[in-house]
Amino acid sequence: MSDDKKKDTQEEARARQAEDAEASALAQPGAESDIAEPEPFTELANLHAEVASLKDKLLRTLADMENLRRRTEKEIADAKTYGVTNFAREMLTFADNLRRAVDSMPAKAREGLEQSLSTFIEGVELTERDFVSRLARFGVKKIEAQGQRFDPNQHEALFEIPDESVPHGTVAQVVEPGYTIGERVLRPAKVGISRGGPKA
């Protein structure tokens, strides 16, 4: 064998030994590889942060759902209470007309009427009372304004009446009755208020 060939064979043998030594060193438990493995505590901290983030998102979603449920319940309750608002407002004119019909016949004039006409007027009064009670079943109630302190949320002042015997700003005359539906004003009472009396 020539010297060149011996050298090549010896170099190959050394290279193989070096590769084997490197492979056995990597196979040992404390050997470091080129790929860095994450620290166990760092990985645990990351998992805790992710759990906290997901828990926060879950709690926020639950709170949003609870708020949505409450809003929906309130909207349903309002729809039940105030769903007839427009219809009730239109029916107030009918109630006003019934009251005007009854008021157009003073009590003294009724005394001299025939029985049939007197019965007719009583029928109109009964119809008015029945109609107002039916409105009340749907939450529509008359505002008792006479003698009350003027409240701009429930009353609409049309004029002032000079009267020193009652406190200033008291409802002295009701021109058109007002009504509420639930907690809201359906129609304000149109009133005349006193002026000149002591301030309340």
| CB of 166 closer than 8 Å to CB of 198 | no
Structure tokens at 176: 């058109």
Predicted confidence (pLDDT) per residue in 103-158, tens digit: 888 777 777 778 888 888 889 999 999 999 999 998 899 999 998 999 999 999 99
DSSP-assigned beta bridge partners for residue 181 = 140, 184
pLDDT of residue 101: 87
Least confident of 12-21, 91-100, 180-189: 12-21
The two most distant CA atoms of the chain are separated, in Å, by: 157
Task: Return the residue matching tokens 């007027």.
Answer: 121
Q: Is pLDDT of 182 > 80?
A: yes
Amino acid at site 60? R
Q: Is pLDDT of 164 > 90?
A: no
| CB of 145 closer than 8 Å to CB of 155 | yes
3-state secondary structure at position 41 = helix
Q: For the CA atoms of 78, 81, 87, 93, what is the dihedral angle to 10 degrees?
A: -120
Predicted confidence (pLDDT) per residue in 83-102, tens digit: 888 888 899 999 899 888 88
pLDDT of residue 16: 75
Q: Is pLDDT of 35 > 80?
A: no
pLDDT of residue 31: 47
Task: Please give the Cα distance from 85 to 133 (Å, whole number).
Answer: 16
Task: Please give the Cα distance from 179 to 73 (Å, whole number).
Answer: 26
- Residue 51 to residues 46, 47, 55, 58: CA-CA distances in angstroms? 9, 6, 6, 10
Q: Give the whole-number percent of the chain exceeding pLDDT 70.
A: 84
Handedness of CA 9, 11, 13, 19 (dihedral sign): negative
